[in-house]
Structure 1
Amino acid sequence: MNIISLSGASGTGKSTAALAYAYSHRIDAIIDDGLLIMNGKKRAGTSAKFEKSALKAVRRAIISDDAHRDELCEAIDEEHIESLMIIGTSDNMTSKIAERLHLTIQQRIYIEDINSEAEIKLARFMRKNEGQHTMPLPMQQIEQNFFKRLMRRGAEIFSPKREKIGETTIVHPDFHDDFTQISTKDMMEAFKEVIEQKKRLTVKKMQFKLLPLPALEVQVVLKMSSQMELMTTPNAIEEAQKTLIECFSQLYDLQFGTLAMKVVDIEFVEE
């Protein structure tokens, strides 16, 4: 059996990236947080995210319980798996999991090999500021009574041919309390203030989306004193875009996927 290790720090998007990577590299199954996942669905095991404390979650993830280990080993043997990806926060962790399952890792890859810097920053933002953990399973496969505060459908994962190959679910485990929720309303107000500091622009409408990568569309009203100033409109918009990108990066350490600014009206004012 070919065993691949995928390592990356906590909250860098490993669970989501693994589904697409496994499909494109013809990897039969994934071990993630104590679960054996095949074809985007649970085959065996219990998720570490069901645990009540961080210590118990770690022990579950490294499969320290013998009954848990035996369940996974039996399922791996029954499915005649030829290639398996083990996901962990470090090489040491994936090695421990492989040892518990009587497997030997032949290849090691890292989240930086799969995800872009922007995708990793977004995943970290979601973990730190929203307390969100991603499970690479459809929502209907997760027992809802495990999660008291947050559980919703995540992203659908598609192949390059637009075939659906998996689905994620967003959960907030009981053991993750150290996060700060950021209000989207407050974020938008901050962006509006930044744009209107340019004096010639006022915000008409803003639309913000965090996933799959931060995207912002801003409709603005351009103020000018004469028709001649129309020639400088592109410069005013470009300057506002650059300022907004800098503000976003400083506040949240994120990169925009798209940032569109549109002039929807022009007002002539006396200076």
Structure 2
Amino acid sequence: MEIYALYGPSGTGKSTSALALAHRFKISAIIDDGILIFQGRKVAGQSAKYEKTTIQAVKRAIFLDESHRKEVIQALKENPIERLLILGTSQKMIKRIQDALELPTIEHFVHISDIRSSSEIKAALFERETKGRHAIPIPRLQVEQDFISRLISRVEKIILSSKKEEYGETTIVHPQFHAGQIHVSEAVLKKLVLKSCRDLPFVHEISKIKVEMSAEPVITLHLSLKLASGESIQNLSHQIQKSIYQEFLEHLNLEVGEIDLLITTVQWKMQSPVTS
């Protein structure tokens, strides 16, 4: 069995990225937060995301419970697994899982930053802190029924192979142990945009602001400018975009993916007459 490992801090999108990584390297099985997934379906274990406390979740993820550990070891032996991907927050954690499940040496370590951009990671962390969303790379129907009614948000995506065969499905859940989320309203995001433009003397008026939060924040801004003769609209637009980008990075640790500006009107400043 060839072992791959994907590691990185909690909330950076490992579970969300696991299926795509498995597809890329033709990996048929995944160990993620206490469950064994084979060919896109859970075959053994119980997800740490079902636990009520963080401590219980960690114990579940590293297979400290003997019956849980033996169940997954047995499933590993019974299924024809040639390549296995283990997810964890660090190499140390992954090696603990390897030892607990009596697996061969890990041959390939992949850090989350190797497959996700800095902006995607920051957006994933923001999503975790503000909405408490966690991903489980198994179909919605396989999540226990008592968990569905309270905690499932939505099915995130289905990964298809080149032959259009279903490769796996990711379900978004809200674990009980994730509490104390920070709420950032759309109004606050819009105020950050206003703040970033407020001190730019050439921004005359802002008529519309739209902020979309997806994989990366996308901002659409309608505004009018007041320019002196000879000033470049393109250069001033770049200054506006840079100011907004830095504001989001400083206050929310978010990298804005796209900032679209629509210049509605341009007013020209009157030049002072030259006196002799």
Equivalent positions of 1:59-78 (< 5 A) are 59-78=59-78
Deviation at 1:111, TM superposition (A): 1.8
Do the aligned residues in 2 keep the contact of 1:196 with 1:203 (CA within 8 Å)? no
Do the aligned residues in 2 keep the contact of 1:27 with 1:83 (CA within 8 Å)? yes
Range that drifts further, 120-129 or 26-35: 120-129
Do the aligned residues in 2 keep the contact of 1:138 with 1:153 (CA within 8 Å)? no
Deviation at 1:153, TM superposition (A): 2.0
1:123 has 2:109 as partner: no
Alpha-carbon distance between aligned partners in 1 of 2:112 and 2:225, rounded to the nearest angstrom: 46
Deviation at 1:185, TM superposition (A): 2.0
Deviation at 1:159, TM superposition (A): 5.9
Alpha-carbon distance between aligned partners in 2 of 1:98 and 1:14, rounded to the nearest angstrom: 18
Kindly provide the amino acid, as one letter, of the partner of residue 196 in structure 2: V
Which of 200, 214, 217 in structure 2 is aligned with 1:214?
217
Identify the residue that residue 109 of structure 1 maps to in structure 2. 110
| SS of residue in 1 equivalent to 2:179 | coil
Deviation at 1:225, TM superposition (A): 7.6
Identify the residue that residue 241 of structure 1 maps to in structure 2. 241
Identity %: 36
Say if 1:71 and 1:118 are closer, same or farther in 2 by CA, change over 3 A: same
Alpha-carbon distance between aligned partners in 1 of 2:214 and 2:221, rounded to the nearest angstrom: 17
Alpha-carbon distance between aligned partners in 1 of 2:220 and 2:162, rounded to the nearest angstrom: 28
Say if 1:141 and 1:31 are closer, same or farther in 2 by CA, change over 3 A: same
Deviation at 1:204, TM superposition (A): 2.5
Range that drifts further, 55-64 or 34-43: 34-43
Deviation at 1:173, TM superposition (A): 1.2
Say if 1:68 and 1:184 are closer, same or farther in 2 by CA, change over 3 A: same
Do the aligned residues in 1 keep the contact of 2:192 with 2:247 (CA within 8 Å)? no
Kindly provide the amino acid, as one letter, of the partner of residue 190 in structure 1: L
Identify the residue that residue 134 of structure 1 maps to in structure 2. 135
CA RMSD of aligned residues (A): 2.7
Kindly provide the amino acid, as one letter, of the partner of residue 211 in structure 1: S
Structure 2 gaps, min length 5: 271-276
TM-score computed with the length of structure 1 as normaliser: 0.86
Say if 1:161 and 1:208 are closer, same or farther in 2 by CA, change over 3 A: farther
Identify the residue that residue 183 of structure 1 maps to in structure 2. 185
Deviation at 1:178, TM superposition (A): 3.7
Deviation at 1:206, TM superposition (A): 2.4
| SS of residue in 2 equivalent to 1:115 | coil
The CA deviation string for residues 27-70 of structure 1, in whole angstroms up to 9 with x for no partner, is 11100001112333322211001011111111111112222222
Alpha-carbon distance between aligned partners in 1 of 2:136 and 2:183, rounded to the nearest angstrom: 20
Which of 175, 200, 208 in structure 2 is aligned with 1:198?
200
Deviation at 1:22, TM superposition (A): 0.8
Alpha-carbon distance between aligned partners in 2 of 1:240 and 1:109, rounded to the nearest angstrom: 37
Deviation at 1:216, TM superposition (A): 1.5
Do the aligned residues in 2 keep the contact of 1:8 with 1:88 (CA within 8 Å)? yes
Alpha-carbon distance between aligned partners in 2 of 1:40 and 1:113, rounded to the nearest angstrom: 23
Identify the residue that residue 39 of structure 2 maps to in structure 1. 39
Say if 1:168 and 1:197 are closer, same or farther in 2 by CA, change over 3 A: farther
TM-score computed with the length of structure 2 as normaliser: 0.84
Structure 1 gaps, min length 5: none
Alpha-carbon distance between aligned partners in 2 of 1:62 and 1:211, rounded to the nearest angstrom: 31
Identify the residue that residue 15 of structure 1 maps to in structure 2. 15
In our comparison, the structure showing a higher alpha carbon Rg is: 2
| SS of residue in 1 equivalent to 2:232 | helix
Do the aligned residues in 2 keep the contact of 1:130 with 1:182 (CA within 8 Å)? no
Alpha-carbon distance between aligned partners in 2 of 1:161 and 1:217, rounded to the nearest angstrom: 35
Kindly provide the amino acid, as one letter, of the partner of residue 77 in structure 2: D
Kindly provide the amino acid, as one letter, of the partner of residue 217 in structure 1: T
Identify the residue that residue 50 of structure 1 maps to in structure 2. 50
The CA deviation string for residues 132-174 of structure 1, in whole angstroms up to 9 with x for no partner, is 2222233343236337875312532546959564332332211
Do the aligned residues in 2 keep the contact of 1:19 with 1:165 (CA within 8 Å)? yes
Q: Count matched residues.
A: 267
